[in-house]
Amino acid sequence: MECYERVMKALRHEKPDRPPLNYIATPEMNEKLKKYLGIENQNELLEYLGVDIRYVTPKYVGPKEFIGVQGAKGAGKDFWGVEWKPVTNKFGTYNEIAYHPLAQAKTVKDIEEYSWPKVDWFDMSHLKEEIKRINAKERKVIMFFAGGAFESAWYMRGLERFLIDLVERPEIAVTISKKVTEFYFKRAMRAVEESGGQIDIFYSGGDIGTQKGMMLSPDLWRKYIKPQTKQLITPFKEMGFKTFYHSCGSIVPVIEDFIEMGLDILDPIQPKAEGMDINFLKNKFGDRLSFHGAIDEQELLPMGKPEEVKRVVIKTIDILGKNGGYIVCSSHALQPDIPVENVLAMFSAAREYKY
């Protein structure tokens, strides 16, 4: 079965030949895997692992004062004006925010007068040919990042200040969220046009959950953030694309809201987060929603043994993949402290699983 057919069959809640696979990892983990396997090319690595999904991205061509996309390697300001600073531990380097450009804004007017990025800062003329190359031998599922209404907004304002705004000055938070969403939606629509409709899944996201529950009350989210979140899901669903949303942590109270908005795939399903039990999720939402992730990256992958990883992967597929509706992936980007053997065990267990 081809990659595209395998994924789409699963998303129709039918049984493919095996569960679809996706791969997300830090740069350090990428290099660690390639070195271990003697592979130089990233696509070779994805083919070796049996990954069914590929990502395409726009090229930043905007002002040189910005480094481009948020979290890009190296210090500097992304296209929103958020400044990132690399922080290194013994395993790898991560980018942390060092400056929030709207932290001192006092009024809605201050927000509106900010120098907001332009869609023309991103070139997408390559998308059609790039997707054609990706699909040359076998059709893959193509994903494009549609943006997020929450995270990019608080990156600009500061998390604590943004959450306080939602209570004390909601017009400030909503204005930032609307501006961010307007940009992302226009950019995603440009991708629809430039790709010739060849993108299969538009994914959006923004962490609204923590280990113990939601980062903000469900009512606040519904009132002030949901309308913008919907703008990055519903229109794409109505255009016939599949939709995908990423939020770490526990977000049980609003999963019904996402289904109502037209969400097809929920990611990353952190099984250690309160309420995100896979049996519960499949029983309550599994006939209306597909799941992506769920292979624990907090304890299992970094600290387990390959045999244990295989057992958990098989059990997870048995539950979340019953009658389709599941794409196997780690519950977050694979971190560089994970043994290579555990990563290979995860992928081999999924590849060998037969419905």
Give the pLDDT of residue 74.
65
Give the mean pLDDT of 27-42.
Answer: 96
Task: Give me the helices (H) in the chain, please.
Answer: 3-11, 27-37, 42-49, 108-112, 127-134, 151-157, 159-168, 170-194, 218-220, 226-231, 234-238, 255-261, 278-285, 300-303, 306-320, 340-352
Q: Are 55 and 42 in contact (CB under 8 A)?
A: no
Q: How confident is the model at residue 109 (pLDDT cuts 50, 70, 90)?
A: very high
Per-residue model confidence as pLDDT tens digits over 37-88:
999 999 999 999 999 999 999 999 999 999 887 655 568 999 999 999 988 8
Peptide bond into 268 cis (omega under 30): yes
Q: How confident is the model at residue 228 (pLDDT cuts 50, 70, 90)?
A: very high
pTM, two decimals, is: 0.96
Give the mean pLDDT of 251-258.
Answer: 98
Give the pLDDT of residue 68.
81
Instruction: Kindly provide the b/e burial profile for residues 267-305, where b requires at least 16 CB atoms within 10 angstroms of the residue's own CB.
Output: bbbbbebebbbbeebbeebbeebbbbbbbbbeebbbebe
Which residues partner with 328 through β-bridges?
Answer: 21, 293
Q: Are 281 and 318 in contact (CB under 8 A)?
A: no
What value does the mean pLDDT of the chain take?
96
For residue 81, the one-letter residue type is G
Q: How confident is the model at residue 90 (pLDDT cuts 50, 70, 90)?
A: confident
Alpha carbon distance 127, 132 (integer Å): 8
Total residue count of the chain as it appears in this document: 355
Percent of the chain with pLDDT over 70: 99
Give the pLDDT of residue 272.
96
Q: Are 320 and 313 in contact (CB under 8 A)?
A: no
Per-residue model confidence as pLDDT tens digits over 176-185:
999 999 999 9
Q: Which of 19-28, 91-100, 145-154, 297-306 has the lowest mean pLDDT?
A: 91-100
Give the pLDDT of residue 73.
57
